[in-house]
Chains A and B, each alone.
Chain A
Amino acid sequence: MSINLSSEALVRVEELKNYYPSKKSAVMPLLQLVQEELGKISEEGILWVAEQVEMSPVHVRELVTFYSMYTTKERGQYHFQVCRTLSCAVMGEGSKKICQAIEKRCDVKEKAVSANGLWSFEQVECLGSCGTGPMCEINDTYFENLTTEKITEIINLIEQEKPDLKFSTKKDALGSGLKNYSPSAVYTKE
């Protein structure tokens, strides 16, 4: 089974396979890598990863469906994951309002991709940002202490700046963010 991976990714694949005491442990980062390269984990992706780590394809499939960060469907270029768990639901305007603001601003329904392919959005469980709720993870970058105004502004800025916001398993680093936004608000100097 072969899939189209960049040469940079292929180098990383070999690194990851040798990173752990057992090759099988590389299955999760490899899935992340495939998702990053192909935008989703396709059937071919599952077979390819299974081959790389010498696992049965169905057991790789189990992982893809078990862990919520993997997707087998295409997402928008910017994927919003709004935390819906307790703190985010009750703090400030509450996560529901944030969701509504995203739906309205981006003209996108939950678990769907907008017509222009830019946006997709879903509600997820606690993202470990309870003190700075409501919050939303766009691609792999956190945006915290949200209000409906602020999320709208963020979306406007994304449209202008076109930041990356993704974590790259290939580069093992977080891509570019919005200019005036820190990737974390968990610590603020008083």
Chain B
Amino acid sequence: MKILLKGIEFDDNVSVAGYQSRGGYESFRKALSMSPDSVVDEVKKSGLRGRGGAGFPTGIKWSFFIPRKTEKPIYLIINADESEPGTFKDRLIMERNPHLLLEGILCGAWALQAQKTFIYIRGEYAYPYTVMKQAIKECYEKGLLGQNILGSGFSHDVIIHRGAGAYICGEETALMNSLEGKKGQPRLKPPFPAGYGLYGMPTNINNVETICNIPFIVQNGGDAYFKIGVEKSSGTKLISASGHIKKPGIYEVEMGYPLLDFINNECGGMLEGRKIKCIIPGGSSTPVMTGEELVGVNLDYESMRLAGSSLGCAGFMVLDDTADMVEVLLNLTKFYAHESCGQCTPCREGGHWIEKIVQRIADGQGRPEDIALIQSVCGQIAGHTICAFGDTMVMPYQSILKKFASEFEAKISLNPNSLVAKSKRLAVLQENQL
């Protein structure tokens, strides 16, 4: 089943002609023949959930704009600030399937009666930006964007904006601030974007992958989409697979696909002679799952949640038995400490504190109480910040510490100054004396 990656094998897919030769922009034409409300209804029926990580039902999000008020223009934002470690799916769509994204935008814009769309693409994605930019330009030339699109009377503009290197701009309100020319720091909610978003206008924000599902839903109906996948997670999902696997890459699978099958089949299994140790399944901000925990787990929101983790945005990072979990945690803490926007006290201070503790453990200066200390600091961060950054940062920390405590203890016990080491030395000394 290919919804999102349909046609990416064709090089001419990046042109309007090539895309249209495979049925492109038919969905948008169909959407124009439907009422905006009925497009929203179809999306509701489809059960599509946001692919950016939170999994909020897209149809419900869109229905915040009904009944429609017309005093202020409605804006649509496409979050293409893909910065979650382990995730690189939106990049593939933008590089190989830019018109799918634009068609999704057009369908969404019609449904929301949005005046403008803003694509916020991360600054480092220079090449995907040029592909998108070219596609947008062609759409304007072909009358698919701008005034009176396809003679329908509907007008829409797409503005594409490059970020400049800040993970936090993937948070929707931080993204809006960044787009407004401010620092990318999350806003307090309420007000919510649907009421007061970009430039104070009602704003809807969707992930690239989410909006790319819309043309299929419009074309085939919400019910048809709902039948794909499993009940609470319909449709297909792009999985970004990386780590110690034979075939890293992006795979489109139906929701509910068995996780181990995915690793063994799509990913080609683990590297030769290696055993799976753990995976971080949803991008780095989700709890780690050990190899044993993967049995019987399927790739959908519910199954992953029940297994104690989260599908997130499906950035699969597979680690094998060569991975040193202290180093893994250190790597992640460095990332989050570097990316904290510095607004809220717990995240700003706590993130760096944990980084420093883990660094000390990795340097062989750990203390036995450090593990409990990190856990405690994690508790002090989660739930106490403006945005979800604090909450998500501690997810991998807490789970790695819990599930691989022995590795940390082992490392700490090697500390010549640690109490454990001291007491061991003392025991040896006493034994020798006896």
**Interface residues in chain A, defined as those with a beta carbon under 8 Å from any beta carbon in chain B:** 19-22, 24-29, 31-32, 53, 55, 59, 62-63, 66-70, 84-87, 89-91, 124-133, 137, 140-142, 167, 172-174, 183-184, 186-189
A22 with B181: CB separation less than 8 A: yes
Contact (Cβ within 8 A) A89 B331: yes
For B181, the chain A residues whose CB sits under 8 A away are 22, 24-28, 53, 55, 63
A123: shortest Cβ distance to chain B, in Å?
9
Let me know if A173 and B130 touch, CB within 8 A: yes
In angstroms, Cα B83 to Cα A127, docked, is 7
How far apart sit A53 and B182, CA to CA, in the bound complex (Å)? 12
> Is the contact region of chain B dominated by helix, strand, or loop, or is it mixed?
mixed
- Complex CA distance for A85 and B283, rounded to whole angstroms: 12
Stretch from B332-340, B354-362, B378-386 that touches the partner: B332-340
Q: Which 9 pairs show the lowest CB-CB distances between chains A and B?
A: A24-B181, A67-B164, A68-B165, A69-B165, A130-B242, A167-B126, A131-B248, A87-B242, A140-B126
B122 to chain A, nearest CB (A): 7
In the complex, how many angstroms separate the beta carbon of A64 from the nearest chain B beta carbon?
Answer: 9
Taking the nearest CB of chain A, how far is it from the CB of B407, in angstroms? Answer: 15
B127→A24 contact, CB < 8 A: no
**Cα distance, A19 to B119, chains bound together (Å):** 13
Contact residues in A for B309 (Cβ distance below 8 Å): none
Residues B162 and A29 in contact, CB atoms below 8 Å apart:
yes
Given A25-B181, A131-B249, A140-B126, A91-B242 contact (CB < 8 Å): yes
Min distance, Cβ B242 to any Cβ of chain A, angstroms? 4
Check if B348 is an interface residue, CB within 8 A of chain A: no
Flag B314-344 by CB within 8 Å of A: 1 or 0 each. 0101010001000110011011001101000
Q: Which of B84, B159, B179, B199 contacts A126 (CB 8 A)?
A: B84
Interface centre among A124, A130, A133 (most CB of B within 10 A): A130
Q: Least Cβ distance of A23 to chain B in Å?
A: 8
Q: Is the beta-carbon distance between B315 and A130 smaller than 8 angstroms?
A: yes
Q: Quote the shortest CB–CB distance from A40 to chain B (angstroms).
A: 14
The interface residues of chain B lying within 8 Å CB-to-CB of A132 are: 88, 248
B230 interface hit (Cβ, 8 Å) = no
Bound form: Cα–Cα A112–B248 in Å? 33
Bound Cα distance A184, B181 (Å): 29
User: Min CB distance, A169 to chain B, in Å?
Assistant: 8
A173 CA to B132 CA, complexed, in Å: 11
